[in-house]
Amino acid sequence: MDPEYILVMENISKAFPSVQALDNVQLAVKKGTVHALMGENGAGKSTLMRVLIGLHPPDSGKIFFKGQEVAIPDTKTALDMGISMIHQELSPVPDMTVAENIYLGREPLGKFGLINKRKMISDTRKLLKQLDITLDATKKMRELSIANTQMVEIAKAISYDSSLIIMDEPTSAITEREVASLFKMIHSLKEKGVSIIFITHKLDEVFKIADEITVFRDGKYVGTVPAADTSKNMLISMMVGRELTNIFPKEEAEIGDVILEVRNLSRKGKVNNVSFVLRQGEILGLAGLMGAGRTEIIEGIFGIEKIDSGEIIINGCKAKIRKPEDAKRYGMALLTEDRRRTGILSVLPVRDNMVVANLARFRKWGFLQTHLIEETCNQEKAKLDIKTPSMDQLIKLLSGGNQQKVLVSRWLLTSPSILILDEPTRGIDVGAKAEIHRLMSKLAQEGKAIIMISSELPEILGMSDRVLVMHEGDLTGEFSRAEASQENIMLAATGTAAV
From 3.40.50.300, 3.30.2010.10, 3.30.1230.10, 3.30.450.20, which CATH number describes the 258-493 domain? 3.40.50.300
pLDDT of residue 498: 46
Q: How many CB atoms lie within 10 A of CB 41?
A: 22
**Average pLDDT of 230-245?**
74
Alpha helices in 85-175 (DSSP H): 98-102, 117-130, 146-159
The yes/no answer on whether domain 5-92+144-240 falls in CATH 3.40.50.300 is yes
What is the CA angle 377-381-387, rounded to 5? 130
Q: Could you give the count of Cα atoms lying within 13 Å of 243 in the half-sphere of its Cβ?
A: 3
Residue type, 337: E
**pLDDT > 70: percent of the chain:** 94
3-state SS class at 272: strand
Cα(102)–Cα(114) distance, integer angstroms: 18
State yes or no: pLDDT of 499 exceeds 80: no
134-138, 221-225, 279-283 — which is least confidently predicted?
134-138
Q: What is the pLDDT of residues 144-175, one digit of tens each?
A: 877 788 788 888 888 888 899 999 888 876 77
State yes or no: pLDDT of 4 exceeds 70: yes
Q: How many CB atoms lie within 10 A of CB 18?
A: 10
Decide if 487 contacts 287 (C-beta within 8 A): no
Q: What is the pLDDT of residues 348-399, one digit of tens each?
A: 899 988 888 777 788 888 888 888 888 888 888 888 778 888 888 888 888 7
Quote the DSSP letter at residue 66.
T
Buried b (16+ CB within 10 A) or exposed e, 180-204: ebbeebbeebbeeebbbbbbbbbbe
* Cα dihedral 285/288/291/297 (nearest 10): -30
Q: Binning pLDDT at 50, 70 and 90, where does residue 121 land?
A: very high
Q: What is the pLDDT of residues 29-48, one digit of tens each?
A: 999 999 999 887 668 888 89
Alpha helices in 163-293 (DSSP H): 176-191, 203-209, 232-240
pLDDT of residue 24: 95
Cα(246)–Cα(193) distance, integer angstroms: 39
Decide if 387 contacts 42 (C-beta within 8 A): yes
Decide if 64 contacts 27 (C-beta within 8 A): no
Cα(255)–Cα(484) distance, integer angstroms: 18
Cα(258)–Cα(483) distance, integer angstroms: 21
CA atoms 497, 312, 445, 424: torsion sign: positive
Q: Binning pLDDT at 50, 70 and 90, where does residue 459 land?
A: confident
Decide if 231 contacts 217 (C-beta within 8 A): no
Domain limits, CATH 3.40.50.300, in the chain? 5-92+144-240, 258-493
pLDDT of residue 446: 92
Average pLDDT, rounded, for the chain: 87
Contacting residues for 88 by C-beta, under 8 A, at least 6 apart: 46, 168, 169, 172, 199, 400, 427
**pLDDT > 90: percent of the chain:** 42
Q: How many CB atoms lie within 10 A of CB 73?
A: 9
Q: Could you give the count of Cα atoms lying within 13 Å of 146 in the half-sphere of its Cβ?
A: 21
pLDDT of residue 164: 95
